[in-house]
Structure 1
Amino acid sequence: MNFKEFIDNNLVLFDGAMGTELQKKGLKLGDVPETLNIEQRDIVVEIHKEYIEAGSNVVTTNTFGANEKKLQATNYSVEEIIDAAVKAAREAIGNKEVFAALDIGPIGELVEPMGILTFDEAYEIFKRQVVQGEKSGADLILIETMTDLYEMKAALLAAKENTNLPVLATMSFEKDHRTFTGCLPSSMAVTLEGLGADGIGINCSLEPKEIRPIVEELMNWTNLPVLVQANAGLPSVIDGKTHYEIGPEEYSDDVLAFIGIGVSMLGGCCGTSPEYIREIKKKISRLTKVERSEQKFHALCTPSNTVLVEGVKVIGERINPTGKKMLKEALKNSDMDYILKQGVSQVEAGAEILDVNVGLREIDQKEMMKKVVKGLQSVTNAPLQIDSSDMDVIEAGLRYANGKAIVNSVNGEDQVLEKILPLVKKYGAAVVGLTLDERGIPDNALERFKIAEKILNKALEYGIKKEDVYIDTLTLTCSAQQKEVAETVKTLTMVKEKLGLKTVLGVSNISFGMPNRPLINETFLAIAMAAGLDLPIINPNDEAMMDKVYAFNVLYNHDKGSIKYIERYGDKSSAETSPKKEKKEETLYDMVVKGLKENAAAKTKLLLSTKTELEIVNEFLIPALDVVGSDFEKGVIFLPQLIQSAETVKSSFDVLKESLKKNESAGISNGKIILATVKGDIHDIGKNIVKVILENYNYDIIDLGKDVSAEKIVEEAKKYADEPIIVGLSALMTTTMKSMEDIIEELRDNGIDCPVMVGGAVLTAEYARNMGADYYAKDAKEAVEIARKVFNN
């Protein structure tokens, strides 16, 4: 039986939670659940059988944390655990028509740029899991509970490149319709469908009613089958046992509503037992899949920003060494600060997509493309245009791009199409097709149009969607080929009207060799937009060019209600033209806000000649971090940018600490905070983020790590009995929340009455109060506010 065929023709019912069921059958706090596949195999087989008897078409293996990082504390290898888990599932299935899904959860460490785990390291960790899963006999792979799109991409690529199994990919969202790291449902869908997932969806974090609006949004962005596995509401601990607020009857009623909006795969997450699955099975047994309308759109994205190509969107051209002496030098010297500033300044000026071209013979272009792509992703949220004629450089850009990129470019030559289009398809990118071939650029519109048509047809043959093909009808210099300018414009219109494709043009080429180039550029841009240009490649820091774009989008009704136009020009008199902005030198404050860490240390050293260490902290670093924290809270920036700003502060602080040491001055700590992820919990992502942010507000952090016992925390707290401290506790799993309560009780029993703050994905303010915590920090910014409040008192 083929799983892909099965999901095409049926409503599919997955199982529910594994962790809570293992707890019911004796899993102790601190035990690694995956070891039970070997040590108490019968329990795992029994749970699978209970779900199958309840009606599950798919059971997920007990391998959520079966990666080399999380299994370090055990005596078992990844291969041993996965082999035992898949075989346990197969034993439970027997000869029934049920599928075994290899379950893969997050690694448990942050991937770059938020953490130190590289994309390639993450890929290798996932590769090891999926290869063994297929070898052991899994029918499909379920990558679940992801919050970082980059980590999800590493996992999905590992599965698609190393196995032949179908892959489902689900992420966990908050009530604000974003994941913990800021990923949107639209960005998730556009990226994962492009990368070849066989189904996508949402699991964990929220209950069915809370997930529903997020699912409705997701359905507008994908044509893939959708899986939903919600939680059974919020957990609470009663008599030492975890209970969930939504029972099987209510849960199954809520879940049933998903089928009406087109969801075809259902199941349960935290708190859902076989009884929940049984209730769902009863209610869906007579239902069939709902036919969904096809979703068509032109979109590029990063995790936190989906750009719909509707109206005119600007591609920033400044990261391209052609004719740019300073950028050439920056590329040669690997001056990332200069390169990233080009990206940040273009986005600030209105560019929605950034062209990335590192084409210099003197450098390793593949490595530089990789470095620039990663760097830009850490400081901006603009989708990238990977611009190169070298296949290896293009692949480097696509592999490390987080989201959906566009490739510039292919042309009508068969050899070029056959080399580049498979890469575009593999990485789910869009592509720009140039209307030239072996004969060069035709001098008339009809011939250029024929090349555009050929490129489209070839892309469709490779399985690339029509909506992902963009055509560049080629701008020629009017000084040398004046009559061909009209042919470029005519081709634009033909491509839009006859092929229904979006169009691209490098605008400034038009004026080479002419006096008063800006006049030619601006006029040509206006003509081209009226003829159907969607994506002009221009310098967004040229205000006159940007003025034309904003005005055009108003006049052609792309900017509905003139919202963006008014936002840009509304504070100026209608009689005024846009004043030229004076360039000012970037301050340390600016560097922190923008996350430009490369030159922060040098700037700090310079400031030390006129200011003290504490003046630099109080005048530049703290105000900048406050702005960054506020923007994070408002959803203006997201976790990658927050971490990048914190890293920028860290590079400045390293200089300040060295200076203080030389001068034998007093330290600049604002207070000591003990941080720990509680016993039984081996996820310390949240705690590590809080640590980074608190350190950059001058707090001295004593990090006890993860899976920390109450005894160790009490022992550490006793060392600082004579000075003010805070104890911060983190838990990500519902199964370890009771540990927090035990630790607080242990601290109080030992006479330690310091403030305790708690945090973690599964916690609420009410739960924190009930367990005796003094403070609940929902995120790193709130942890800073708590620390300020405590130590200022």
Structure 2
Amino acid sequence: MKIVSLEERGFTVELKAKLGKEIILFDGAMGTVLQQRGLKAGDVPEKLNIENSKEIIDIHKSYLKAGAEIITTNTFGANALKMQEIKYSVEEIITAGVENARQAVIELGVDAAVALDMGPLGELLEPMGSLTFDEAYDLYQQQVLVGVEYGADLIHIETISDLYEARAAVLAAKENSNLPVFCTLTFEEDGRTFTGGSIRSMISVLEGLGVDGIGLNCSLGPEKLEPLVEEVLEYSEKPVILQANAGLPIVEDGETVFKISPEDYFKPLARLYEKGLAVVGGCCGTNEEFISLIADNLKNKKVKERNVINESLVCSPSQYVNLAGVNVVGERINPTGKAAFKQALRNDDLDYILKVAVEEVDAGADILDVNLGLPEIEEKEMMVKIIKELQGILDTPLQIDSSDPEVIEEALKYYNGIAIVNSVNGEIEVLENTFPAVKKYGAAVIGLTMDDDGIPDTAAGRFEIAKRIVKKAAEYGISRDKIIIDCLTLTASAQQEGVKETLKALKMVKNELGVKTTLGVSNVSFGLPARPVLNRTFLSMALYQGLNLPIIDPNDEEMMAAVKAAAVLNNIDQGATEYIKYMAEVETNSAKTENSQEKNKSHDLKTVIVKGLKSEAANLTEEILKEKEALEVVNSYLIPALDIVGNRYEKGEIFLPQLVQSAETVKEAFAILKQDMASKGGRDISKGTIVMATVKGDVHDIGKNIVKTVLENYGYQIIDLGRNVNIKEVVQAVKENQIKLLGLSALMTTTVKNMEKTINAVREISPTTKIMVGGAVLTADYAKMIEADYYARDAREAVEIARKIFTD
């Protein structure tokens, strides 16, 4: 095939000009259309790019005839992880995929763009899974480079449920091409992704990375997705995309079908068009009839104007903080003046640092400052390590505190969210070294009002530096809502007049520049007695002048109370809801007492499991084993702790990363218990054996692996047959091990039929074996139709099913 140069891709330029101004029409589904045309359950659709290119070209042409202006290549799963079990390389599959799409455009002689389609990799990224961020990036980079070389007009990243994976894909696309990049995530009806990501976090992260279009696809029908798309329309400045399913699949006469008609599919789209929807198409269950109806009604229409709510957010995948209010930045992850913290850094004692972070969050910190500046350690390496660990156990946004641009760049690369960079100053060289990374990753940044000449004595001098920082940021495309100015707290014992100048400068910056403000509050009291009194007083004065981000120790209840009180008095905390809640918690915590050492041990072990502090769990388990038997530790400590985590997960108080981390923490405790049982010649503490498999033709392991991890840590032995498991292998494992419970997983609509076949085969040889099924395309009704005994919506439900089976 002729390699198409960027200069020859005229429609890419036209697309960019049209995007956000006129409705752009995508195509519909590929996989479900292929099923209707005879694709067998478990077959790999991407192989047809080479083995039956005529069929693929024909489907592309059907969408172009219907009015589609963008057609997606048949490369949804064409990454090296998923393609390793077929005889074709990623390059061969993608090259053929792009060529087929281009051929369809040429044959019809229409103006249409070819979108390189990139779907999920099929494995969870760390900390929930074993795939590293760098490995994910490399897999996507391979796809991008081939797609760009062979003529794709844009890159379409779709059906992603993990924001970390989306970041890897977008960075790979942006750093290895100059093509437009669209990215759509898949959400549940509750407004969360499978891994707990929120709409607002998605918007912040993807806009920060510079995508050209943002939205939702797959998972549900357009009516169910309508309120979620409305939220994107309300808060995103980018053109908004929707490619919904034709509803959830059901089973009729043994076949998977989608029941929503093109007319019913279009009704929510018409309403969303009136609210500003810009790019529309279809996902699973849609075909050319759906696209034709949309084209008849919307094609070439002007995109409706929106009044977007502009916010300044920092976020993790599941939690965001609006910088416009008053938010507490925890200051304790910092070695300055802390001998124990320094020693922990030298010893690579991550749990000590994580425990400090957990304590800060429990005390009420909204954002955590992370400062690891110690000459004896490799700061960049340690910063990345700590960030990965922190985002595995907490969903609190982070503030990257370093003066080294390389440390900042590396930290922002691996941080799964929008961070604050602390900090830059008025020196031009510092600004030029740091602002590129801030812009690239969409971070917020703190500017210190100091430069080559030090800290100005006057408020006016500091204000001038603040203006310089804001102006320089604008040159890099960094907006004011991303800028936080630190007017620098001076020590009252040495520079008493300077304290007043700090407050005066803060007010000027706030009122005249319209940016956010921060201060390290406790600096004011160095060298003076009764420091808490000075700190609290200075904090109150600064809050009155407009301080947004006080950097304090959140364990100081009176400082926290001052922040909560200021929010009430400034009419931010309307109804004093947060203030009342905080004060009630303070009173409750003060009243708590532990009556015995044993109670403390129990509480600590449960707490570290809930918090996900792995090495502490192992140490505490060893301590408790000096007085308790292994089975008692399991039943009295580990299982109740996991139940707490499960309940919090069900209520939406924590999300998948924290659930998996707690399960991994229990694994550390179980390892100690098993060693203890073996040394004493005791019986196995396993509660029963379960076989698990992802059915034939399905290469996705995500859901199964999560369920496996959680079940193992509830004490069940799991025989994991892996993914793409043929029916005979499942039957053999059930028969040889006399299995009471079998778990089957399928994520793709093209493989659910194999689940039914597997169930029927197992029933023939072991009618008493109970079977639970799960996966993104399954529902309780579908599970009933294929005669599974149980439908496990998530890992928590799988635990309850196992309890029932093995208790009975």
TM-score tier (shorter): over 0.9
- Residue correspondence of structure 1 range 562-581 to structure 2 within 5 A: 562-570=576-584
The match for 2:235 among 211, 217, 221 is 221
Matched residues in 1 for 2:193 and 2:586: separation? 38
Name the residue aligned to 2:413: 399
1:155 equivalent to 2:172? Answer no
SS of corresponding position for 2:124: coil
SS at match of 1:598: helix
1:752 alignment partner in structure 2:
767
**1:412–1:388 CA distance, 2 compared to 1 (3 A):** same
**Could you tell me which residue of structure 1 aligns to residue 679 of structure 2?**
662
Partner residue of 1:692 out of 701, 709, 712: 709
Report % sequence identity. 55
Q: Please list, as runs of the form range in 1=range in 2, the aligned pairs for 1:384-395 lying within 5 A after superposition.
A: 384-395=398-409
Q: Aligned partners of 2:702 and 2:33: how far apart in 1? A: 25
Aligned counterparts, 1:49-128, within 5 A: 49-94=61-106, 95-128=109-142
User: C-alpha distance in 2, partners of 1:604/1:30?
Assistant: 45
**Residues 33-85 of structure 1 deviation map (CA, whole Å, 9 limit, x = unaligned):** 11111111111111111110011010000111000000010111111111110
Change over 3 Å in CA distance of 1:415–1:10 after alignment to 2? same
Give the corresponding residue for 2:569. 555
Whether 1:635 and 2:684 are equivalent positions in the alignment is: no
Note the C-alpha offset of 1:792: 0.6
**Contact 1:237 / 1:738 at 8 angstroms: preserved in 2?**
no
**Residues 1:415 and 1:335: Cα distance change in structure 2 (over 3 Å):** same
Q: Tell me whether 1:330 sits opposite 2:330 in the alignment.
A: no
Q: Residue 579 of structure 1: CA displacement?
A: 7.2
CA distance in 2, matches of 1:678, 1:764: 16
Which residue identity is paired with 1:6? K
Write the distance in 2 (CA, Å) between the matches of 1:370 and 1:659.
35
- Counterpart position of 1:768: 783
Deviation track 1:396-416 (CA, whole Å, cap 9, x = no partner) reads: 211111100000011111101
| TM-score normalised by structure 1 residue count | 0.97
Residue in 2 that maps onto 1:738: 753
Aligned partner of 1:304: which letter? S
Matches of 2:409 and 2:649, distance apart in 1: 32
Shift, 1:241, TM fit = 3.2
Equivalence for 1:718: 735
Deviation per CA, 1:342-365: give whole Å up to 9, x if none.
111101100000000110010010
SS of the counterpart of 2:750?
helix
Q: Is the 8 A contact 1:183 1:304 kept in 2?
A: yes
Aligned to 2:615: 598
Rounded to whole Å, the distance in 2 between the matches of 1:293 and 1:712 is: 57
Q: Residue 806 of structure 2 corresponds to which residue in structure 1? A: 791
In the TM superposition, residue 9 of structure 1 has moved relative to its aligned partner by: 3.0
- Kindly state the Cα deviation for residue 720 of structure 1 after the two structures are TM-superposed: 3.0
CA distance in 1, matches of 2:806, 2:182: 47
Distance 1:487 1:738, change over 3 A: same
Q: Distance in 2 between matches of 1:737 and 1:752?
A: 21
| Structure 1 residue identity aligned to 2:772 | M
Do residues 260 (structure 1) and 274 (structure 2) align? yes
Q: What corresponds to 2:3 in structure 1?
A: none
C-alpha deviations, 1:496-547, integer Å up to 9, x for none? 1111111000000101111111111110000000011000000001111111
Contact persistence 1:190–1:221 (CA under 8 A): no
Range 712-721 or range 39-48, more displaced: 712-721
Counterpart in 1 of 2:7?
A: none
Q: For the Cα contact (< 8 Å) 1:489–1:528, is it kept in 2? A: yes
Query: Does structure 1 residue 438 correspond to structure 2 residue 452?
Result: yes
- Look up the match of 1:29: 41
Alignment TM-score, normalising by the size of structure 2: 0.96
Matched with 1:350 is: 364
Matched letter for residue 243 of structure 1 = V
- Give the one of 533, 540, 549 matched to 1:519: 533
Q: Is the contact made by 2:101 and 2:114 (CA closer than 8 Å) also made in structure 1?
A: yes
Tell me which residue corresponds to 1:9. Answer: 21
Single out whichever of 576-585 and 389-398 deviates more from structure 2: 576-585
Structure 1, unpaired ranges of 5+: none
1:537 matched to which residue of 2? 551
Query: SS of the residue aligned with 1:408?
Result: strand
Residue 633 of structure 1 deviates from its aligned partner by 0.6
Contact kept in structure 2, 1:508 and 1:521, CA below 8 Å = yes
* 8 A contact 1:336–1:598 mirrored in 2: no
1:717, 1:752 within 8 Å by CA — same for their partners in 2? no
Q: C-alpha separation between the residues in 2 aligned to 1:51 and 1:305?
A: 39
Distance, in Å, in 2 between the alignment partners of 1:673 and 1:97 is 54
| Larger CA deviation: 779-788 vs 650-659 | 650-659
Q: Following the alignment from structure 2 to structure 1, what is the Cα–Cα distance between the partners of residues 353 and 585?
A: 31
Query: Does the 8 Å contact 1:16/1:267 carry over to 2?
Result: yes
1:487 to 495, 501, 505: 501
**Are the structure 2 counterparts of residues 329 and 703 from structure 1 closer, same or farther at C-alpha, using a change threshold of 3 Å?**
same
SS at match of 1:111: coil
The letter of the residue matching 1:55 is: G
Secondary structure (helix, strand or coil) at the match of 2:327 reads coil
2:19 partner SS: helix
| Cα distance, 1:581 vs structure 2 | 8.8
Residue 496 of structure 1: which of 510, 515, 524 is its match? 510
User: Contact between 1:758 and 1:773, CA under 8 Å: does it hold in 2?
Assistant: yes
- Give the Å deviation of 1:296: 1.6
d(CA) in 2 for partners of 1:506, 1:85: 55
Secondary structure in structure 2 of the residue aligned to 1:141: strand
Structure 1 contact 354–385 (Cα < 8 Å) conserved: yes
Query: Which residue, 616, 622, 636 being the options, matches 2:639?
Result: 622
- Separation (CA, whole Å) in 2 of partners of 1:580 and 1:449: 47
1:87-144 CA-partner distances (Å, limit 9, x unpaired): 1111111142100000001110010010011111111111111111101110110111
Separation in structure 1 between the aligned mates of residue 73 and residue 456 of structure 2, nearest angstrom: 58
Matched residue, 1:166? 180
SS where residue 314 of structure 2 aligns? strand
Give the AA of the match of 1:71: M
Separation in structure 2 between the aligned mates of residue 171 and residue 468 of structure 1, nearest angstrom: 25
CA distance, structure 2, for counterparts of residue 777 and residue 278 of structure 1 = 37
Tell me if the contact between 2:485 and 2:515 (Cα under 8 Å) persists in the aligned partners. Answer: yes
Which amino acid is 2:652 matched to? G
Aligned partner of 1:237 in structure 2 is 251
1:714-765 C-alpha deviation (Å, 9 max, x unpaired): 12111133xx510111111122222222122222223432111111111111
Does residue 277 of the first structure (1) align with residue 287 of the second (2)? no
1:613 aligned residue = 630
* RMSD value, Cα: 1.6
Which deviates more, 712-721 or 407-416? 712-721
- Do 2:426 and 2:466's aligned partners in 1 also have CA atoms closer than 8 Å? yes
Q: CA deviation at 1:243?
A: 1.4
Write the deviation string for residues 676-695 of structure 1: whole angstroms up to 9, x where unpaired.
11112111100110000000
Greater Cα offset, 203-212 or 18-27: 18-27
Deviates more, 1:304-313 or 1:468-477: 304-313
| In structure 1, distance between residues paired with 2:592 and 2:636 | 28
- Take 1:664 and 1:580, find their aligned partners in 2: how far apart are those partners? 41
Whether 1:47 and 2:59 are equivalent positions in the alignment is: yes
CA distance in 2, matches of 1:746, 1:379: 41
Residue pair 1:182, 1:304 contacting (<8 A) in 2 also: yes
Deviation at 1:280, TM superposition (A): 0.8
Q: Contact (CA 8 Å) 2:401, 2:422: kept in 1 or not?
A: yes
User: Contact between 2:49 and 2:100, CA under 8 Å: does it hold in 1?
Assistant: yes
Paired with 1:204 and 1:19, the residues of 2 have a C-alpha distance of 12
Aligned match of 1:474: 488
* Cα distance in structure 1, aligned partners of 2:657 and 2:16: 35
